[in-house]
Amino acid sequence: MTKTPEPGTVLLEPHPASERLAVLSLSRPPVNALDQGMWDALLEAGLALHADDRYRAVVITGGKHHFAAGADIQQMIGLTPDQFGRRNRILQRAFHLIATAPQICVAAISGYALGGGFELALAADFRIGGPDAVLGLPEVTLGIMPGSGGTQRLPQVVGLTRAKDLILSGRHVEAQEALQMGLVDRIAPDPFETALDLALTFARGPLSLRHAKRAVQAGLDLPIEDGLALEAEAIEWCFSSRDGQEGLSSFLRNGPGQAAFGHD
């Protein structure tokens, strides 16, 4: 099993099930409110994911009780607007690094995922919620607004109108409504174990997964011609890779779904 992180920490480490799978754990009981030190640690974790070729998938977890109930408001009170702006950009950059990481990221959400905690979950490629999951961006109820990617990523997940509903009302969404809206991809009694199983399928998959993820994400911001050019370049690389050649040959030898990847 992975080590239990100390309170107020962010821990990125390999999971024993696969050297290609990492777990990004948050720990600051009782609700994992993100203190300033955790903001810096999340930035370091995001940088590490971009620099580390070992990992192909990541599970993001806050443990069994709460994913993360947003930023620690007490630490924000004494900041000047300029200080707050500089600090906020650290968290915004951290979540952007996680969202654009080459690994496939799966968030396991128990309990609260609010504010910055929900924005971290939105940076993942997939979200598995527990029956007790509560999600939302309540920043407007504090007189501010989401500032670490929520206004940009939420519309891509649930559409413009639903995103405006959640952002402008600041309301909380419980598990079943979150599933209906597409905020989570499924509900599971143990979201960590379900997220782990899903992430393992990606960790054991071909390196082409990261190229497919990059093409999908980049295409959101590119003219169709540029997106198609990026796609063409990516599939040529995949075709030339050992994983690609093994996958094609395995299909002819053994049928679909039998290839063992890990050559690249």
**Nearest residue to 127 via CA among 113, 108, 111, 154:** 108
Cβ burial of 23 (10 Å; 0-12, 13-18, 19+) is buried
Give the Cα separation of 127 and 105 in Å (integer): 9
Give the Cα separation of 96 and 123 in Å (integer): 7
139 is catalytic: yes
Q: Hunting for tokens 């960790």 — which residue is that? A: 203
List residues bridging with 21 in a β-sheet.
57
List residues bridging with 61 in a β-sheet.
25, 108
Both tokens of 129, joined, read 């919620």
Contact 234, 215 (CB under 8 A): yes
Give the Cα separation of 135 and 83 in Å (integer): 28
Catalytic residue, chosen from 6, 13, 19, 119, is 119
- Give the chain's largest Cα–Cα span: 65
Catalytic residue, chosen from 139, 174, 177, 233, is 139
Give the Cα separation of 29 and 27 in Å (integer): 6
177 is catalytic: no
Cα distances (angstroms) measured from residue 239 to each of 37, 214, 243: 43, 16, 8
Both tokens of 56, joined, read 């192909």
Report the catalytic residues. 119, 139
